Structure 1
Amino acid sequence: MKQIAIVAGGPALNIPELKQRQHSFHYWIGCDRGAYEIIDQNLPLNMAIGDFDSVTKQERIAIENYADKVISYNVEKDASDLELAVEHSLTLGEVMLTFFGVTGGRLDHELMVIFLLEKLLKVGIPASIIDQQNIIQLYKPGKYQVEKDSRYPIISFLPVTDSVTSLSLTGFYYPLQSAHVTRGDSLTLSNHLDHEYGHFSFDTGILMMIRSSEQVK
């Protein structure tokens, strides 16, 4: 499975240090200004895509000279640069997508990406969002293991659907056994692992796991 990094043009301060993650990904895609962010962090830019309305003329030239492939679109179109990047990434075979630069800016864009995670989950494509302070992932019913990560120690679970049923947490500071959790409940906020590994499971619904840190590191 190819690990694909998709970098959008959100606030640079909210994008984590990408250089240290370089070898975690097989392919780097830059959306609009995200392409220049990839260049700025001295990473390979396998594909630059978008209408490039968020870069200067000089930055556009730099992107065109640096990228292995550039796909340009008109400003007026029926899909966002990010969604177009996802469509092109799916032509690369079996993929796992990680989005950077999609939080901390416009709320409509941020919510759209979270909904996009759900859309991808339903067709069996694993995807996540990572920023300086959070990792966001969605899950279908099943049993899962979580490993402790000192960079993102706080773990919260939120139903994306109206509810999730039989949610159980083991290895967490606040354990849970077969709970019915509805969207809007705060029961499963701000937990953390009590051991090196924890486990969670649920029977129905779609569940969001957000791993966070109190302070940006």
Structure 2
Amino acid sequence: MTVVNLMVGGPAKEIPLDIVLKHQHELWIGIDYGATYLLQHGITPAVVAGDFDSTDPQEMEHLKQVVGDVRVLPTAKDVTDTQYGTRLAIQRFHPTQINIYGGTGGRLDQLLANLFMPMQDEFRDYLDRIRLIDRENTVDFYSPGSYSVVKETRMRYLAFVNLTPVRGLNLPDEKYPLVDFNSDIPFSWSSNEFVGKVNHFSFHQGVVAVIQSYDQIHGND
């Protein structure tokens, strides 16, 4: 099993550093300022890439000294830095799992770009292997089928978000069940909750994102 972790340049306050450090010995790719963030916390990425417009000259020089593969991208390009990093992870490492940190929070347009990215043609085969992780959420992506969802530590809330038109979405054993839901527009069944440690869902057309969340403001039961 090859796990590749991407640290992209989102707000540091959204990055779960405790989780990152638990995986520090795995493969890492640093994207834009995410590369400097990794070095600051004792993690040397295998590759770094980005336009580095938020990296000062001293930090850039340090990156070049420490990391063997530094790829400086033009500011004007047809892909986001996160898309480039995900493409790089696939082409170089052929991973079984891609975890993306620093890809949420801050600008909404960048969040939406990351949320919709797994549905693009070049990433579609990896859709179920891409995960977004921040301090309060994990996001997984699913193609049609029947699935079990295992409750993560701390997480209480569970959302089922159809990112495309969806047919036949069933939530049989969540706190708020759903039977044979169809929609022609994106829709978020938010603030559902686990019943027990494992819940299930199924659907037969579309793409569904499943979000497990921790409410840091109000806490969890």
1:133 aligns with 136
The residue aligned with 1:20 is: 22
The equivalent of 1:101 in structure 2 is 102
Provide the residue aligned with 2:199 in structure 1: 198
Q: For residue 55 of structure 1, report the CA deviation from its aligned partner.
A: 0.7
Q: Tell me the SS of whatever aligns to 1:10.
A: coil
Q: Give the whole-Å Cα distance in 2 for the aligned partners of 1:182 and 1:133.
A: 29
Ranges of 4+ aligned residues in structure 1 off by more than 3 Å: 181-186
Tell me the TM-score normalized by structure 2: 0.87
The number of residue pairs the alignment matches comes to: 213
User: Cα RMSD (Å) of the superposition?
Assistant: 2.0
How do 1:27-176 and structure 2 match up within 5 A? 27-95=27-95, 96-119=97-120, 122-125=124-127, 126-162=129-165, 164-176=166-178
The one-letter code matched in structure 2 to 1:148 is K
Q: Following the alignment from structure 1 to structure 2, what is the Cα–Cα distance between the partners of residues 140 and 104? A: 25
Q: Distance in 2 between matches of 1:149 and 1:77?
A: 37
1:3-53 deviations in whole A, cap 9, x for unaligned?
A: 111111111001111102335xx3100011000111122123111111211
Q: 1:9 to 1:35 in 2, by over 3 A?
A: same
CA-to-aligned-CA distance 1:118-170 (integer Å, 9 cap, x gap): 226523442011111111122110011111113222100111113x2221223
Residue deviations 1:158-188, cap 9 Å, x none? 11113x22212233212223232453555x2
SS at match of 1:201: strand
Task: Specify whether residues 102 and 185 from structure 1 end up closer, same or farther in structure 2 by C-alpha distance, changes over 3 A only.
Answer: closer
**Letter of the aligned partner of 1:38 in structure 2?**
L
Q: CA 1:209–1:91 in structure 2 vs 1: closer, same or farther (change >3 Å)? A: same
SS of the residue 2:154 aligns to: coil
Q: CA deviation at 1:206?
A: 1.1
Q: Which runs of 5+ in 1 are unaligned?
A: none
* Aligned sequence identity (%): 30
